[in-house]
RNA sequence: UGUCCUGUGGUGUAAUUGGUAACACGUCUGACUCUGGAUCAGAAGAGUUCAGGUUCGAGCCCUGACAGGACAACCA
């Protein structure tokens, strides 16, 4: 994996309420000063920016308090989980800059332990096999405001339960015909305590255990115990699991043989404007081809952001900036965008590229002559050095940088106006060439030979500097202009309408004929550039020597476009 | 008519645990500039959901409202 980001310096995460709780535990001498967190994804999809927040949080806590972090795959549902996802998740966590060392776990590593624990619960009269179907069980569960009723199978004998559960394990029963349930309290105000299902029969091969098991534990029966067996001290998860905590505590109460127990702490998941974050919706976008894949640069997935040109540091900084609380809110994408700009501004090489080419002929410049102009690679980083850019009589400039009838505050090229060609010469527009339809096809200028390098010895000023690419030296490239995937801040917020109705039709605009200066010729995939005055771009993996492809990561802040929209 | 959680500038967070609301993003000025970028300087913007109470003093504590969210998969 290639990443050219130099800015990988450690950031000290901003203290948040979880840090404070950990600090307090440490001060009280809990867990003998040990801190072990974990990142527990289900391998049923690609990781997104919300997971990045969790990853940074969990690894960040461990780093801050001298602890470690486990990577654990919660793979208790073989119908949804795939190895492809396991691979992508590991790749993404590493790319973000975190390392779980040899602490790689799977919930499926604990299938036997879980089974044994279930048998223990049966022996203690705390679990039973229920023969009812899903619908019946669901009805009997009641509702948040109505207590449930007990299953007629609730009082089976321990012996019978043991026998039946073993039968379930041995594949003697059909899928859906039996489940194992905990015997807790059908009248509990907490729905999760109403005899939750522990095991279901599923004759689906598992990505790791194959067909060894035909019964699988449910997440609720697996997660807390895995934490326990791994020795997790602080089990950080999102808010929706808050109501599950009493159940997890109940399981650990049945299991523990010391004072140790993992402490679960919940925080608010990340929401971002102009995108969706649920795996189900992201999967839908991928499956129904609204995007090119999980790593489509418009996706909020980590792989999508990577392909878009985001850097690990920018995502880590973003995660730190949004903070960690229990308040459910929505963060502004502009904060994410600010984080990449901030990082790329310091690290990306500057280069000139023209996206909407307009040909300019410098009529008093010698035909056939080429000059090599010195250009600074990164004004923010002197170490990046300089390069030369070829200059000739015919160049491309940006269509937006020329207006025949400019409004008041337009500083760029227009008839009679002089501007600077960056690192080259002052030029003055003398003529506009149009086709039969009246479209501008070419602009003629004259240059001031004394202004070589970009300054005139007489000290006269120009209002603007524009970028350019020499026609004979230009590398033709495809540039993919990405914008927000959705047109509204909260596409999933409207219950009446499908979120896909808010898809932004202009989220991808492909510019097939752009021109870039020759220095980028051998750029490797994913390397970052700033196209001066336009934005940050990176080389797409689709790029090849015959046809380079760039993705626009994010625009530069643009005072002119703001000025324009004011007038509108 | 339940249980649990949460309410601080536009957004995201902070407030040394009771001491007179801070930071970042965004917005708006201005300076500087061979990127209308970056940088620098400055400004506006909340009196902390509301109402009571305790206190010399409350965003922090208490009471009660109100608002938002989570919970009724053999999903995680």
ipTM: 0.95
A42 catalytic per annotation: yes
Distances (CA, A) of A546 to A307, A428, A537, A543: 20, 35, 19, 8
Average pLDDT of span A198-226: 98
Determine the distance between A437 (CA) and B37 (C1') in angstroms. 36
Please write the tens of the pLDDT for every residue from A400-430: 999 999 998 999 999 999 999 999 999 999 9
Q: What is the four-CA torsion angle of A95, A99, A104, A105, rounded to 10 degrees?
A: -80
pLDDT given at position A59: 97
Whether the full predicted model's pTM is greater than 0.80, yes or no, is yes
Q: Kindly report the average pLDDT of chain A as a whole number.
A: 95
Domain with CATH 3.40.50.620 in chain A: 17-267
The reply to whether A553 has its C-beta less than 7 Å from any atom of strand B is no
CATH class of A351-473: mainly beta
CA distance A191 to A220: 13
Q: Tell whether the model's pLDDT for residue A5 goes beyond 50.
A: no
CATH superfamily of A17-267: HUPs (3.40.50.620)
CA distance A303 to A9: 21
CATH class of A279-347+476-567: mainly beta
A212 catalytic per annotation: no
Domain with CATH 2.40.240.10 in chain A: 279-347+476-567, 351-473
pLDDT given at position A568: 58
The reply to whether A412 has its C-beta less than 7 Å from any atom of strand B is yes
The reply to whether A567 has its C-beta less than 7 Å from any atom of strand B is no
CA distance A77 to A73: 11
A279 catalytic per annotation: yes
Q: Tell whether the model's pLDDT for residue A11 goes beyond 80.
A: no
Please write the tens of the pLDDT for every residue from A29-62: 999 999 999 999 999 999 999 999 999 999 999 9
> Are the CB atoms for A537 and A531 separated by under 8 Å?
yes
Within 10 angstroms of residue A299's Cβ, the number of other Cβ atoms is 26
The encoded tokens of residue A250 equal 């109940």
pLDDT given at position A7: 35
pLDDT given at position A495: 81
Judged by C1' against the alpha carbon of A380, the nearest nucleotide is B38
Judged by C1' against the alpha carbon of A558, the nearest nucleotide is B36
Please write the tens of the pLDDT for every residue from A458-471: 999 999 999 999 99
């Amino acid at each position: 994996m290639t990443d050219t980001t130099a800015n990988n310096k450690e950031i000290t995460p901003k203290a948040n309420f979880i840090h404070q709780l950990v600090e307090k535990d440490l001060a009280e001498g809990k867990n003998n000063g040990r801190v072990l967190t974990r990142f527990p994804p289900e391998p049923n999809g690609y990781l997104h920016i919300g997971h990045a927040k969790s990853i940074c949080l969990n690894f960040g806590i461990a780093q801050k308090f001298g602890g470690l972090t486990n990577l654990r795959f919660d793979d208790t549902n073989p119908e949804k989980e795939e190895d492809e996802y396991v691979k992508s998740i590991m790749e993404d966590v590493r790319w973000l800059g975190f390392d779980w060392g040899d602490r790689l776990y799977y919930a499926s590593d604990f299938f036997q332990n879980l089974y044994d624990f279930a048998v223990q619960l049966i022996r203690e009269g705390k679990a039973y096999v229920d023969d009812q179907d899903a619908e019946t069980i669901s009805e009997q569960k009641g509702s948040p405001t109505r207590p449930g009723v007990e299953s007629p199978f609730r009082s089976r004998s321990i012996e019978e339960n043991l026998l039946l559960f073993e039968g379930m394990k041995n594949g003697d029963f059909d899928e859906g015909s039996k489940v194992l349930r905990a015997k807790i309290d059908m009248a509990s105000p907490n729905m999760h305590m109403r005899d939750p299902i522990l095991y279901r029969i599923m004759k689906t091969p598992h990505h790791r255990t194959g067909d060894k098991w035909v019964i699988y534990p449910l997440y609720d029966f697996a997660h807390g115990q895995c934490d326990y067996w791994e020795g997790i001290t602080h089990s950080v998860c999102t808010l929706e699991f808050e109501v599950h905590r009493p159940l997890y505590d109940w399981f650990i109460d049945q299991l523990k043989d010391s004072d140790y127990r993992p402490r679960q702490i919940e925080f608010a998941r990340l929401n971002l404007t102009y995108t969706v974050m649920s795996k189900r919706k992201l999967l839908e976008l991928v499956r129904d081809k609204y995007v090119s894949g999980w790593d489509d640069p418009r996706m909020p997935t980590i792989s999508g952001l990577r392909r878009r040109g985001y850097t690990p540091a920018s995502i880590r900084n973003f995660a730190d900036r949004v903070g960690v609380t229990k308040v459910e809110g929505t963060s502004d994408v502009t904060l994410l965008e600010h984080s990449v700009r901030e990082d790329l501004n310091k690290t990306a090489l500057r280069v000139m590229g023209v996206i909407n080419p307009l040909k300019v002929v410098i009529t008093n410049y010698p035909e056939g002559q080429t000059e090599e102009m010195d250009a600074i690679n990164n004004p923010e980083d002197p170490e990046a050095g300089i390069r030369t850019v070829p200059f000739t009589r015919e160049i491309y400039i940006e269509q937006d940088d020329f207006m025949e009838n400019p409004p008041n505050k337009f500083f760029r090229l227009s008839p009679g106006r002089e501007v600077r060609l960056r690192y080259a010469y002052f030029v003055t527009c003398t003529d506009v060439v149009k086709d039969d339809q009246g479209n501008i096809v070419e602009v003629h200028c004259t240059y001031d030979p004394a202004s070589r390098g970009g300054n005139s010895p007489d000290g006269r000023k120009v209002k603007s500097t524009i970028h350019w690419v020499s026609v004979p030296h230009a590398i033709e490239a495809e540039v993919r202009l990405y914008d927000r995937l959705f047109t509204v801040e909260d596409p999933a917020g409207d219950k009446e309408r499908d979120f896909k109705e808010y898809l932004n039709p202009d989220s991808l605009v492909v510019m097939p004929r752009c021109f870039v200066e020759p220095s980028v010729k051998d750029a490797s995939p994913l390397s970052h550039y700033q196209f001066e005055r336009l934005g940050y771009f990176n080389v797409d993996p689709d790029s090849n020597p015959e046809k380079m492809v760039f993705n626009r990561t994010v625009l530069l802040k643009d005072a002119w476009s703001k000025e324009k929209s004011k007038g509108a």
